[in-house]
């Protein structure tokens, strides 16, 4: 287990250091004198789609692609020449892994919005929490190049925050994810991920939950376990396989290159993984990301998101999985969510999953 130190930024936000080893000084103080975060987050009910939409107008002013020397996720450092201090979101002069409350959160525990219901117009506060996870102090690093010990520290941080955020009143789902690459829409290039604590189960996760429930009611077995066994038996779409995890391209993959990393043991979330599983995952996870980076001449833009059990619903039926996918379908070409995908939510994939798996394995056509 990583060593955890807690502090507060100058505007009152919480910050947690997760260190690979004990004995590091985490007494540095944020001296920026920031004003307290004011969130206007609210969620509005889409009556036709039957799902919530989050409105967060205050995020329009968030930091957007700053130059490297102004990166807010780098450590706070004193310049050698003039002695000036570049204050960032992390007060320490170096760090291993850091988690802190987002300065521009989509969801917040302190939003002043009140509930209202006028006819079909239903508004609720955008309650919840958004956190930033910095994987390394190296601005030019990448998750795929982290040593296994550091990946393990990141996993410890995600598991600890999953448990902590799940204890917040009203939180129904905790989603940990990484966006990598400007093509994805990343606004800060420093290696980092995010954790969203939602006041509802997101639509995609709720559909998965219902599928798991329906399959269990009909057969008495876990659907994710059954899919994993079927993919292992078929073999054509397997990318990596260990003693505790298998990584495969789904039979009905939506994205050009998409991989599911699934534990062999039926567990609901990251906190439920044991030591041997975490040790293997710390090596297999970045290995899969390196396979994505090996597809083309430039690093792959991707999203990696942990599909964990809802905080309160059907936890016994849920089977943890990590989905990794890239929107790049060929050199210089992206998979855009155009008319069919964005307008009708019907995905059209240009690359057969079997071919994608072969490419990720490094096999030439």
To the question of domain 204-360 being in CATH 3.20.19.10, the answer is no
Tell me the pLDDT band of 356, cut-offs 50, 70 and 90.
Answer: very high
3-state secondary structure of 279: helix
66, two tokens: 């700053």
d(CA 6, CA 192): 19
47, pLDDT greater than 70: yes
Per-residue pLDDT tens over the stretch 226-241: 999 999 999 999 999 9
Can you tell me the mean pLDDT for 332-361? 95
Per-residue pLDDT, 115: 95
5, two tokens: 């130190």
Percent of the chain scoring above 90 in pLDDT: 90
Q: Which residues contact 230 (CB under 8 A, 6 or more apart)?
A: 251
How far apart, in Å, are the Cα atoms of 134 and each of 127, 151, 178, 344?
Answer: 23, 12, 10, 35
pLDDT, greater one: 63 or 278? 278
Phi, psi at residue 270, to the nearest 5°? -60, -40
Can you tell me the mean pLDDT for 114-143? 97
What letter does residue 76 receive in the DSSP assignment? P
Per-residue pLDDT tens over the stretch 143-186: 999 999 999 999 999 999 999 999 999 999 999 999 999 999 99
170, two tokens: 């009203």
Active site residues: 192
Per-residue pLDDT tens over the stretch 105-120: 999 998 889 999 999 9
Between helix 203-219 and helix 223-234 the angle, nearest 10°, is 90
Q: CB of 16 within 8 A of CB of 4?
A: yes
Per-residue pLDDT, 82: 65
Can you tell me the mean pLDDT for 197-218? 98
d(CA 157, CA 178): 14
Tell me the pLDDT band of 199, cut-offs 50, 70 and 90.
Answer: very high
Q: What does the buried/exposed string (b/e) look like for 265-291 if buried means 16 or more CB atoms within 10 Å of the residue's CB? A: ebbbbbbbbeeebbbbbbebbbebbeb
Per-residue pLDDT, 65: 82
* pTM, entire model: 0.96
254, pLDDT greater than 80: yes
How far apart, in Å, are the Cα atoms of 197 and each of 134, 163, 175, 342?
Answer: 17, 11, 6, 25
Tell me the pLDDT band of 83, cut-offs 50, 70 and 90.
Answer: low
To the question of domain 3-200 being in CATH 3.40.50.2000, the answer is no
Residues for the chain: how many in total?
365
Can you tell me the mean pLDDT for 265-278? 98
Q: Which of 60, 58, 61, 55 has the alpha carbon at shortest distance from 42?
A: 55
Which residues sit in the known binding site? 71, 74, 139, 190
Checking DSSP bridges between strand 121-125 and strand 116-118, what pairing results, if any? antiparallel
Report the 10 Å Cβ neighbour count for 307: 21
The region of weakest confidence among 57-66, 91-100, 211-220, 349-358 is: 57-66
Per-residue pLDDT tens over the stretch 26-46: 999 999 999 988 889 999 999
Q: What is the rounded average pLDDT for all residues in the chain? A: 95
Which contiguous run of DSSP H or E holds residue 285? helix 275-293
Percent of the chain scoring above 70 in pLDDT: 98
Per-residue pLDDT tens over the stretch 71-82: 999 999 876 556
Checking DSSP bridges between strand 321-326 and strand 257-263, what pairing results, if any? antiparallel
Q: Which residues contact 354 (CB under 8 A, 6 or more apart)?
A: 236, 237, 249
Per-residue pLDDT, 81: 55
Phi, psi at residue 100, to the nearest 5°? -150, 160
Cα dihedral 206/208/211/216 (nearest 10) = -100
362, pLDDT greater than 60: yes
Per-residue pLDDT, 348: 96
Write out the residue limits of the CATH 3.30.428.10 domain(s) in the chain: 3-200, 204-360
Which residues sit in the known binding site for Zn(2+)? 71, 74, 139, 190
3-state secondary structure of 290: helix
d(CA 210, CA 135): 33
129, pLDDT greater than 60: yes
């Amino acid at each position: 287990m990583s060593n955890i130190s807690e502090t507060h930024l100058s505007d009152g936000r919480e910050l947690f250091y997760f260190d690979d080893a004990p004995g590091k000084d985490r007494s540095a103080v944020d001296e920026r004198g920031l004003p307290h975060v004011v969130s206007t987050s609210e969620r509005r009910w889409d009556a036709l789609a039957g799902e919530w939409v989050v409105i967060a107008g205050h995020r329009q002013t968030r930091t957007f692609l700053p130059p490297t020397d102004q990166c807010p996720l780098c450590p706070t450092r004193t310049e050698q020449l003039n002695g000036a201090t570049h204050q960032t979101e992390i007060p320490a002069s170096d760090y291993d892994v850091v988690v802190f409350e987002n300065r521009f959160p989509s969801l917040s525990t302190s939003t002043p919005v009140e509930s209202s219901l006028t006819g079909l117009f239903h508004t609720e506060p955008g309650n919840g929490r958004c956190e930033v996870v910095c994987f390394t102090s190296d601005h030019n690093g990448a998750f795929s190049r982290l040593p296994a010990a550091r990946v393990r520290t990141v996993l410890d941080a995600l598991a600890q925050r999953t448990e902590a955020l799940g204890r917040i009143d009203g939180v129904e789902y905790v989603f940990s994810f990484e966006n990598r690459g400007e093509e994805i829409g990343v606004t800060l290039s420093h290696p980092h991920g995010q954790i969203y604590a939602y006041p509802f189960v997101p639509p995609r996760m709720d559909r998965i939950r219902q599928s798991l429930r329906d399959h269990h009611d009909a057969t008495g077995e876990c659907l994710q376990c059954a899919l994993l066994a079927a993919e292992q038996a078929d073999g054509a779409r397997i990318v990596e396989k260990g003693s505790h995890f298998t990584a495969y391209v789904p039979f009905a993959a939506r994205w050009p290159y998409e991989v599911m990393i699934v534990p062999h043991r039926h567990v609901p979330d990251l906190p439920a993984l044991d030591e041997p599983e975490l040790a293997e995952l710390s090596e297999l996870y970045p290995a899969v990301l390196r396979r994505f980076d090996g597809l083309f001449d430039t690093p792959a833009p991707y999203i990696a998101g942990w599909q964990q059990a809802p905080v309160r619903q059907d936890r016994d039926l849920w089977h943890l999985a990590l989905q990794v996918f890239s929107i790049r379908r060929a050199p210089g070409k992206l998979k855009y969510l155009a008319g069919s995908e964005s307008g009708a939510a019907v995905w059209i994939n240009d690359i057969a999953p079997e071919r994608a798996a072969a490419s990720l394995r490094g096999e030439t056509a």
